[in-house]
Structure 1
Amino acid sequence: MAAERRPPRVLLLTSGPVDGGRGGDTDIAMALARELPAVRHLWFRKWPGPDEAVRDLPGRSVPLLSRDGVPRLPVRVQAVAAGSVLTRRCDLVHAVMTIGSGFPPFSRLWPRIVGDTPVLHTVPGVMNPALLARSRPLGPTVALSEATAGRMRSAGFGEVRVIRPVVRPEEWPLLPRTVSDGQTVLVTGHHDPGGGAEEAIASAAVAARAGARFRLVLALRDRPGLDTRALEADLRALAASQGLPETEVLGHVPDMHGLLAAADVLLYVPRALGGKADVPLTVLQALATGRPVVLSELPQFESLRGAVLQAAPGDCERTGRLLQQVLDRPRWWRSLVDQGRATVEERFGVARFAAQYAHLYEELLS
């Protein structure tokens, strides 16, 4: 009787632990480990104290010394060092990395490390398109949007495929609208230039002046090295000057389920993504949960067209009017909920995601 073929070993190469600062790269990496059971993935976790989110994650965990999991330089160095060793024990390296300022030199160094091991690169986002001209492809490349795929093809990355991220419906069930004395508008994003926090406040002020009544909550992630307290204080002052004195400004919120359940509308209006995922996972989670989304009209968001309300980046007047209308029209709110949930199930489902990556793995491992 022939021996059973062992499952292929695939290193999920991320810039830091998958249970660190949750983002597009770590969420995609965890989805790959969960949805491709025929593969034995190796993935990074923080040490000491791995997060509850990865305790049952299939595959083998590789510890990186980091208490908070944020991919600062020492953590990134550990990831590259560990990856250089593990690569020689694996059949495939699947890099899940945003293209940021450190990627061009990394893209030249990495081929010397991996040798003949094939590499697949999923690109959640690109911090600056100018970086593409200085970068080399690690191997076959996957983007989350056709807009980014087109830019990468033009920069010499060859054939770039598009595979959308995934949301598991059972993890984000459709929830009824919260019955309370007031409505809540949730703003998500980062403390980045062009990240949209100031535009969200200005848009909310337009909606409030038009008669909408709501509480504004900003849940914004910080970046290493920023004075987050000062930034949050500035945003509260800006909101007060715009007639929104009860605005709440939060940092990273671990319970996104509860935050979305308490919201009526999600507002995400960046002028530029600046390396954030082409398809923000929070937007998909909001749509799955049954919360309408008002979104910037950026080319990376093309796959969400028809499921969200959109205005040109920086057009706070139109954004505010859309926000006011969806808050004040219950029937429209309901129709947007139905369309959003259906879109997530049809375009961002598990079956399509798993089948597309399984096919790519078979190509590269054959």
Structure 2
Amino acid sequence: MTVSARPPRVLLLTGSPLDGADGSDVGLARDVLRALPDMEFLWFCQWPARRGRPPPPVGRAVRLWSPGGTQQIPVRLQAALAGAVAARRADLVHAFVSIGHAFPAYSWLRPLMLGARPVVHTVPGVMEARLLARTRPLGTTVALSESMARRLRAANFGDVRVIPPMIRLSEWPFLPRPGGVPTVLFAGHLDAQGGALTALEAAAEAARSGVVFRLVLAMGGRPGQNTGALRRELRERAGAGGLTDVEVRGYVDDMQALLASAHVLLFPPPVIGGTADIPLTVLRALATGRPAILSDLPQFADFGDAVLRAPAGDARRTGQQLAWLLEQPRVWDMLAERGRATVEESFGPERFAAQYEALYRELLA
């Protein structure tokens, strides 16, 4: 697998530092770094160093001026320029970039920015389908789901592989059902299409049937959003819908503790746009043994009968499923076990590492 006497050098190209704010691209890059210890990785770190997520203990850091560690436009621009320089020192570039509004232009500049070296492009998600028509593939493309792979192939992306994201099962152990009043968790973003409004309407539908539960909305904001106003609006909508026990939170650092206290994950977005094609929150919930109610989107078909699905945007049907699940402890137990088994079988670290190692070996040969 070596291209010389030293280990192969791989640039992990992300839109923000690996030790900064969490995101699907950063999370996938960290997983690859940890999964392939025989590589010499180059990765972006924030400068000046800040408290929070510790930097990876392996590889070589490339500094980005990133006071908050977030994916603000200046940080993403620095990442693109720093990547162009660092790519000259790499044998392989592995990009973790969603296809957003700026990506088509970057894809046409690929020869200038990344040179002639092989490129792997893991696509966490596609912001809008129309962007695909203006985009060129960076190299070998990796989709997180079969449905995304079909979309990319139909858009002439050529060589598209499917490597699902991974969950370190030791870090997300299976937990028993918590006691007390059930907690229903929605975790996502404050986007218009993020699913929070459908989750509120579904919860109101379930509450009207007489089921007692607590609703927690944990949502991170996007750059430029007025997160305070959006959260106030959600609280007002919850009150108008007759929901009395609702907590609206921002970004959550300790997702493990939050999932441990939850009974059900409610994730009903009408579309998957600005987030990962297969959200890590869903995988973490299933690994922990928390049944999930999802929109009936194509990428969620990979979960089979390990989850409940309702038509996208159908709050009434989603609420009926929520009420039924909370009143059926045997069904809860069955889905908890199926969810964990599905993650172990299809989203474990061994399979993830083997697939990326084989792809690296192929491109470095």
TM range (shorter): over 0.9
Give the root-mean-square deviation of aligned CA atoms.
1.3
Residue by residue over 1:154-208, the C-alpha shift from the partner in whole angstroms, topping out at 9 and shown as x without a partner, is 111112111100000001011122223x111000111112111010000001111
Structure 2 CA distance for aligned equivalents of residues 37 and 16 of structure 1? 22
Higher mean Cα deviation, 225-234 or 112-121? 112-121
For 2:131, the equivalent position in structure 1 comes to: 131
- 1:251-330 to 2 correspondence within 5 Å? 251-330=250-329
Q: Residue 306 of structure 1 aligns to a residue in which SS?
A: helix
Q: Residue 337 of structure 2 aligns to a residue in which SS?
A: helix
Q: Is 1:216 matched with 2:215?
A: yes
Structure 2 CA distance for aligned equivalents of residues 124 and 57 of structure 1? 24
- 1:168-179 to 2 correspondence within 5 Å? 168-179=168-179
Structure 2 CA distance for aligned equivalents of residues 51 and 351 of structure 1? 31
AA paired with 2:262? A
Percent of paired sites with the same residue: 54
Q: Residue 293 of structure 2 aligns to a residue in which SS?
A: strand
Over 3 Å counting, the alpha-carbon distance change for 1:354 and 1:51 in structure 2 is farther
- 1:72-87 to 2 correspondence within 5 Å? 72-87=72-87
For 1:25, the equivalent position in structure 2 comes to: 25
**Conserved? CA contact 1:34–1:57, under 8 Å:** no
- 1:200-211 to 2 correspondence within 5 Å? 200-211=199-210
For 1:64, the equivalent position in structure 2 comes to: 64
Deviation at 1:51, TM superposition (A): 5.4
TM-score, structure 2 as length reference: 0.97
Structure 2 CA distance for aligned equivalents of residues 307 and 323 of structure 1? 15
TM-score, structure 1 as length reference: 0.96
Over 3 Å counting, the alpha-carbon distance change for 1:256 and 1:304 in structure 2 is same
**Conserved? CA contact 1:33–1:57, under 8 Å:** no
For 1:186, the equivalent position in structure 2 comes to: 185
Structure 1 CA distance for aligned equivalents of residues 301 and 45 of structure 2? 33
- 1:146-161 to 2 correspondence within 5 Å? 146-161=146-161
Structure 2 CA distance for aligned equivalents of residues 154 and 50 of structure 1? 43
May I ask how many residue pairs the two structures share in their alignment?
362
Q: Residue 30 of structure 1 aligns to a residue in which SS?
A: helix
For 1:240, the equivalent position in structure 2 comes to: 239
Q: Residue 344 of structure 2 aligns to a residue in which SS?
A: helix
Deviation at 1:55, TM superposition (A): 3.4
Structure 2 CA distance for aligned equivalents of residues 65 and 284 of structure 1? 32
Structure 1 CA distance for aligned equivalents of residues 14 and 75 of structure 2? 10
AA paired with 2:235? R
Residue by residue over 1:204-238, the C-alpha shift from the partner in whole angstroms, topping out at 9 and shown as x without a partner, is 01111112111110001111111111100000000
AA paired with 1:310? R
Structure 2 CA distance for aligned equivalents of residues 279 and 291 of structure 1? 16
**Conserved? CA contact 1:30–1:57, under 8 Å:** no
Structure 2 CA distance for aligned equivalents of residues 254 and 333 of structure 1? 27
Deviation at 1:252, TM superposition (A): 0.4
**Conserved? CA contact 1:292–1:340, under 8 Å:** yes
Structure 1 CA distance for aligned equivalents of residues 51 and 132 of structure 2? 34
Structure 1 CA distance for aligned equivalents of residues 347 and 111 of structure 2? 32
Q: Residue 305 of structure 1 aligns to a residue in which SS?
A: helix
Q: Residue 99 of structure 2 aligns to a residue in which SS?
A: coil
**Conserved? CA contact 1:240–1:246, under 8 Å:** no
Over 3 Å counting, the alpha-carbon distance change for 1:139 and 1:129 in structure 2 is same
Structure 1: stretches of 5+ with no match in the other structure: none
Q: Residue 295 of structure 1 aligns to a residue in which SS?
A: strand
**Conserved? CA contact 2:9–2:40, under 8 Å:** yes
Deviation at 1:329, TM superposition (A): 1.2
Structure 1 CA distance for aligned equivalents of residues 125 and 282 of structure 2? 15
Deviation at 1:245, TM superposition (A): 2.4
Structure 2 CA distance for aligned equivalents of residues 198 and 211 of structure 1? 21
Structure 2: stretches of 5+ with no match in the other structure: none
Over 3 Å counting, the alpha-carbon distance change for 1:106 and 1:56 in structure 2 is closer
Deviation at 1:52, TM superposition (A): 4.9
Higher mean Cα deviation, 199-208 or 11-20? 11-20
Q: Is 1:362 matched with 2:352?
A: no
Structure 2 CA distance for aligned equivalents of residues 121 and 294 of structure 1? 30
Structure 2 CA distance for aligned equivalents of residues 57 and 353 of structure 1? 20
**Conserved? CA contact 2:213–2:245, under 8 Å:** no
**Conserved? CA contact 1:10–1:39, under 8 Å:** yes
